[in-house]
Structure 1
Amino acid sequence: MKSPLPRGLTIASGLLALVLGTAPALAAKDVVLAIGGQPETLDPYNTNTTLTTAVTKSFYQGLFEFDKDLKVRPVLAESYTVSDDGLVYTFKLREGVKFHDGTDFNAEAVKVSLERVLNPENKLARYNQFNRIDKVEVVSPYVVKITLKDAFGPFINSLAHASAAIISPAALAKYGNKDIAFHPVGTGPFVFEDWKQTDYVKVKKFDGYWKKDFPKVDSITWKPVLENNTRAAMLQTGEADFAFPLPYEQTAALQANDKLDVIIGPSIIERYVSFNTLQKPFDDIRVRQAINYAINKEALAKVAFNGFASPAEGIVPEGVLYAHKMKPWPYDPAKARELLKEAGYPNGFESILWSAYTTTTAQKAIQFLQQQLAQVGIKVQIQALEPGQRTEWVQSWPDPKTAKVRMYYAGWSSSTGEADWALRPLLSTEAWPPKLNNTAYYSNEEVDAYIAKALRSVKDEEKAELYRKAQEQIFKDAPWAPLVTEKNLYATSKRLSGVYVMPDGNIEASEIAVSE
């Protein structure tokens, strides 16, 4: 028997006809996936958001991919060899694969895609993920050789990241570096059909897909739904077959619905607040330490995440290779006030706290942080940034000296599964915006050296030690307030299979299917 809608959802679901009125009509094997935000581009090389790459995986594939446990498995590459010095990788490619435009996937396509991101003039967001490549050479139609500038231990993991997509060279030639973002052409199970930026991305079945018996559905509609309760309502009313993330407080009600499967999955998503260390008062380590002491992480996990999170135990969460576990900052408002007084702020100060997200969970989090900081005299104005604001004001800001970001609530998951991509894009000097996401504008020469040396190392013990030293130094310098590591909560209709949320928050739907 279907459970009644939780209080507050009846009106929300009644409005869904208006919300969905612009979406395409659905048939029996059309699936709606309700997601918590809007993709800002359909170019996987020009985004740093996991949600966007989840959508682009519908039509793009790379040489490798991660399975549900973040283990690497081959896709468009069948095998590879590595030279003894760790500099030259030779890949044997899958034959008989077609792009959606009918052209052949081959070594030249790999070369074109990688050389595009390696060209600094293209100014693609993922440039720093691949800039250790020296050259890409076509050995034969289905063998490609990649030579690195320096040994780079996580190289295969980088190629397994969803951003490392192989794009049709013919499509790139037709649409150009910028407009390919609106006309994606890959080798994946679905062909791009339509993108209404605030409403949906729709993809349809690719009849020429190389993987036998797939895809098993006719189309997928990726539906951005910013409000948590509305996503839950869409599941309850059958207007969506999948929703992520979900409001944690509605877990019991959703579990009571016999038409839904509710999944609580492991996560490597850590939430944190970064401090602009170039600007007063955050250039003072005592202020940054004070904020860490001022926040009750246990209470935050309960208030904003309904208990589906735990205090962050360091800079890199458990489950990421080479993560180093540390004790969370204790909640000690008296210590926070003492440090503020020592730093010259006995009465606190005023500042701004931005959130990278507009979800209701994020709203709860920043409201809680605002209340906590007020108790030690720090008065912050809070604002949840829309995607365009986030890109313009934070990620793309050209001059660190004039950056307006002060305190920034955000989250990150190492989508390559190891510590490099949890540290280098967020906390190395080379990662200051607009290059990557070091929104703290943090810089420590020792940390940079540890990260660089770990990248070149091929010895597990040495890498573990270097990453440990880096994480301990970062924790000591406190450019962040590490907050919580959250759980992944999502649900699917009983008719749906082959869709799951990975530990990094990405969504895998390449083998999606529905029962009749």
Structure 2
Amino acid sequence: MASGADLESGNPLVTVHPLSRQLQRHALFVTLVKLDSALQPEPYLARAWQWDPSRRAVTFRLFVGLKWHDGTPTTAADVAFTMAAARDTMLGSPRAGDVAVMDSVLALNDSTVRIVFRDPRAALPTVLAELPIVPRHLLDSVPRARWRAHPYSTAPVGNGPFRFVSRTAGRQWRFARNAEFPAALGGPPHTPHIVVAVVDEAATKFAGLVSGELDVAGVSPTMAHLVERDPSLLLMTPPSLFSTVLAFNTTRAPFDDARVRRALSLSIDRVRLVRAAVAGFATPAAGAIPPGLPYSTAGAPALDTIQADSLLDAAGWTRVRAGAARTRRGTALEVTLLTVGGGDMAVEQLVQADLAARGVALTLRVMELSSFLATVRAPVKHFDVVLTGIPGDIALGHVSAMFATAQRGGALDYTGLHTALLDSKLAAARGATPAAAAAAWQAVAAELDATMPVAWLFHARGVQGRSRRLKGVTMDLRGELVSVARWTREDTP
């Protein structure tokens, strides 16, 4: 399979890279529970669970006999360790906000875990189906501030249906069937190995699919029709919880001014962006919550160049005539956009053209993924604006995924904006009863819209090309790799 960039990390507690998370969740590790096709929790490492009458605590009975790939047993201590690490501010995990609903996680014995929540819960939080368990015996001696740079990130030891074999930096990751994966958890995979090849050019991915060198690859939406025409290939367009956004550095001018942030957002023609850049395989983003999720709100995305001009004028960025550059006290409004790039960079160029029409000069700067992440996660921000993707999760979509709340790793943290009001609305949403949850999460989305640290561009749909000889493939909201352990490859198409 192809990946457009090198996998960010083998450690599931520190990565936001979508394919890395997919491989961790469905191949390399196991989660406490997993989701069925109706997105309801079903047994996985936890074979059964029992709620207390108060609904504030739940006790899990774990499968006995699962081993880490180095032969060490997986126990309840690993579960408690994982949840504690995810909450640790020194680690700054992107999942910190999701596990913040837990008051404590206790290993009662090797096969029993008790989770106590801060408030009564109507159901298990989906983070339990999305956050893989990590090995305590390999990571408990490593200072959490050093986890991202630790060798475990590039040579991970898991306990899932596939085990890590090797990595060639910037080129390839290899995983092999775990022949000892227990039958009760699904049994050994059908395919003997997975090779993840780093291929960042759209044409090269398509050529690899046609030649048979690749069995599955995300393809450029503009090339989807070519996949459909090839008799050896199938086009799959599963729903996807992934959004593309502009994240503004609110810690320095001009983006410390909310009027400038809103003006740039209002200047972007999202309908044209979806049509021209991704061939219609996305939904123009009217807000933070993607369509199809319980708390999504309908509405056309904003395009209002008159209001954009008015806001820029009010912020002091004026121009003497139509088509001229905007200036303030003799300084031109020039902005640098950081991007990982890839393909034809159609999104970046369309945004560049839209802003040029408002008198804003946008310069594109393409960066390698690890350098990009190091730059945007730095405590002191030295950039203007970044184009980035937000990988969401099933229950709350991208609103939840954005929040790192004063920690490293989330898209909101890229912007440097953390306010007491935003944090309080998030806390209220996480603790809301099911009846009040929709209104609470919409209040969070409304506050994001009011402060505009992030301009939502579009919510994506998956565009995957795969060989017809690859069988057993299911792709849905749980991810493109949800059935990877059941994949098989025929020798002939």
TM value normalised by structure 2 = 0.87
Whole-angstrom CA distance in 2 between matches of 1:284 and 1:170:
48
Aligned to 1:456: 431
Q: 1:498 aligns with which of 454, 459, 472?
A: 472
Q: Is the alpha carbon distance of 1:81 and 1:360 closer, same or farther for their aligned partners in structure 2, counting shifts above 3 Å?
A: same
Structure 1 residues 156 and 335 mapped into 2: Cα distance closer, same or farther (>3 Å)? Answer: closer
Q: How far, CA to CA, are the matches of 1:463 and 1:36 in structure 2?
A: 36
- Determine which of 78, 83, 87 is the counterpart of 1:114: 83
From 351, 371, 377, give the equivalent of 1:389.
371
Corresponding position of 2:322: none
Do residues 346 (structure 1) and 297 (structure 2) align? no
Do structure 1's residue 303 and structure 2's residue 286 form an aligned pair?
no
Higher mean C-alpha deviation, range 37-46 or range 318-327: 318-327
Deviations 1:462-484 (A, max 9, x none): 11111122222322332222211
**Cα distance in 2 between the residues matched to 1:154 and 1:282:** 40
1:437-448 alignment, distance < 5 Å = 437-448=412-423
Q: Which residue of 2 aligns with 1:320?
A: 293
Q: CA deviation at 1:56?
A: 2.4
Q: What residue number does 1:364 align with?
A: 346
Distance across 2 between alignment mates of 1:72 and 1:301: 34
Partner of 1:206: 178
Instruction: Give 3-state SS (helix, strand or coil) of 2:50's partner.
Output: strand
Quick check: 1:154–1:455 contact (8 Å CA) kept in 2? no
Distance 1:102 1:281 in 2: 55
Q: Give yes or no for contact 2:241–2:398 (8 Å, CA) kept in 1.
A: no
- Work out the CA distance in 1 between the residues paired with 2:179 and 2:152: 22
1:25-71 superposed Cα distances (whole Å, 9 cap, x missing partner): xxxxxxxx112221121111111222211232322111123345644
Query: Cα deviations across residues 8-39 of structure 1 (Å, max 9, x unaligned)?
Result: xxxxxxxxxxxxxxxxxxxxxxxxx1122211
CA distance in 2, matches of 1:500, 1:304: 26
For the residues of structure 2 that align with 1:336 and 1:120, how far apart are their CA atoms?
38
Partner of 1:229: 203
Determine if the alignment matches structure 1 residue 77 to structure 2 residue 77.
no
- 1:418 has 2:395 as partner: yes
Distance 2:92 2:446 in 1: 33
**Corresponding residue SS for 1:439:** helix
* Aligned residues of 2:406 and 2:418 also touching (Cα < 8 A): no
Aligned to 1:138: 107
Distance 1:498-1:360 versus aligned 2 partners, 3 A rule: same
Task: Find the aligned partners of 1:495 and 1:370 in 2 and give their Cα distance.
Answer: 41
Question: What SS does structure 2 have at the residue aligned with 1:409?
Answer: strand
**What pairs with 1:160-199 in structure 2 (closer than 5 Å)?**
160-161=129-130, 164-172=131-139, 178-199=150-171
Query: By how many angstroms is 1:424 displaced?
Result: 4.2
Q: 1:437 to 1:450 in 2, by over 3 A?
A: closer
1-side partners of 2:139 and 2:261: how far apart? Answer: 46
Aligned partners of 2:6 and 2:170 also within 8 Å: yes
Residue 254 (structure 2) pairs with residue 281 (structure 1): yes
One-letter identity of the residue aligned with 1:441: G
Give the unaligned 5+ runs of structure 2.
320-325, 327-332
Quote the sequence identity (%).
23
Distance 2:430 2:161 in 1: 34
Deviation string 1:365-423 (CA, Å, 9 cap, x unpaired) is 1111111101110001112321121121102x023xxx1132221121322x122x622
| Cα distance change of structure 1 residues 70 and 38 upon mapping to structure 2, 3 Å threshold | farther
Partner amino acid for 1:199?
A: R
Alignment match, 1:241: 215
Instruction: Assess, with a 3 A threshold, how the Cα gap between structure 1 residues 243 and 132 changes in structure 2: closer, same or farther.
Output: same
**Structure 1 residues 244-283: aligned runs within 5 Å:** 244=218, 246-283=219-256
In structure 1, C-alpha distance between the alignment counterparts of 2:256 and 2:141, rounded to whole Å: 48
Distance 1:86 1:37 in 2: 42
Whether the aligned pair in 2 keeps the contact of 1:322 and 1:418 (CA below 8 Å) is no
Residue pair 1:274, 1:480 contacting (<8 A) in 2 also? yes
Tell me by how many angstroms 1:510 deviates.
2.5
Contact 1:175 1:183 in 2 (8 A): no
1:496 is displaced (CA, Å) by 0.9
Contact kept, 8 Å, 1:129 with 1:158, in 2: the verdict is yes
Q: Given residue 413 of structure 2, which amino acid in structure 1 is its aligned partner? A: N
CA 106–461 in structure 1, closer or farther in 2 if over 3 Å, else same: same
Q: Distance in 2 between matches of 1:319 and 1:426?
A: 18
Distance in 2 between residues matched to 1:121 and 1:448, nearest whole Å: 19
Amino acid at match of 2:261: R
The code of the aligned residue for 1:93 comes to: L
Q: Given the alignment, which residue of 375, 379, 388 partners 1:398?
A: 379
Q: Which runs of 5+ in 1 are unaligned?
A: 1-32
Q: 1:114 to 1:468 in 2, by over 3 A?
A: closer
Q: Which deviates further from its counterpart, 76-85 or 498-507? A: 498-507
Cα shift at 1:256: 1.5
Once residues 477 and 467 of structure 1 are traced to their aligned partners in structure 2, the CA distance between those partners, rounded to angstroms, is: 16
- Conservation of the 8 A alpha-carbon contact between 1:98 and 1:210: no
- Looking at structure 2, the residues matched to 438 and 326 of structure 1 have their Cα atoms a distance apart, in angstroms, of 27
In structure 1, C-alpha distance between the alignment counterparts of 2:249 and 2:478, rounded to whole Å: 26
2:62 maps to which of 75, 85, 93: 93
Partner of 1:28: none
CA shift for structure 1 position 119 = 4.4
- C-alpha contact 1:37 1:51 (8 A) present in aligned 2: no
- Amino acid across the alignment from 1:75: Y
1:168 is displaced (CA, Å) by: 3.6
Alignment counterpart, residue 59 of structure 1, candidates 8, 13, 28: 28
Q: Which is further off, 40-49 or 406-415?
A: 406-415
Task: Please tell me whether residue 482 in structure 1 is matched to residue 464 in structure 2.
Answer: no
Change (3 A) 1:306 1:438: same
Match of 1:218 in 2: 192
Deviation at 1:153, TM superposition (A): 6.7
Paired amino acid for 2:262: Q
User: Does 2:488 align with 1:513?
Assistant: yes
Aligned residues: 470
Q: CA deviation at 1:193?
A: 0.6
In structure 1, how many angstroms separate the alpha carbons of the residues matched to 2:55 and 2:155?
A: 36
Residue 166 of structure 2 aligns to a residue whose secondary structure is strand
Secondary structure at 1:52 match in 2 = helix
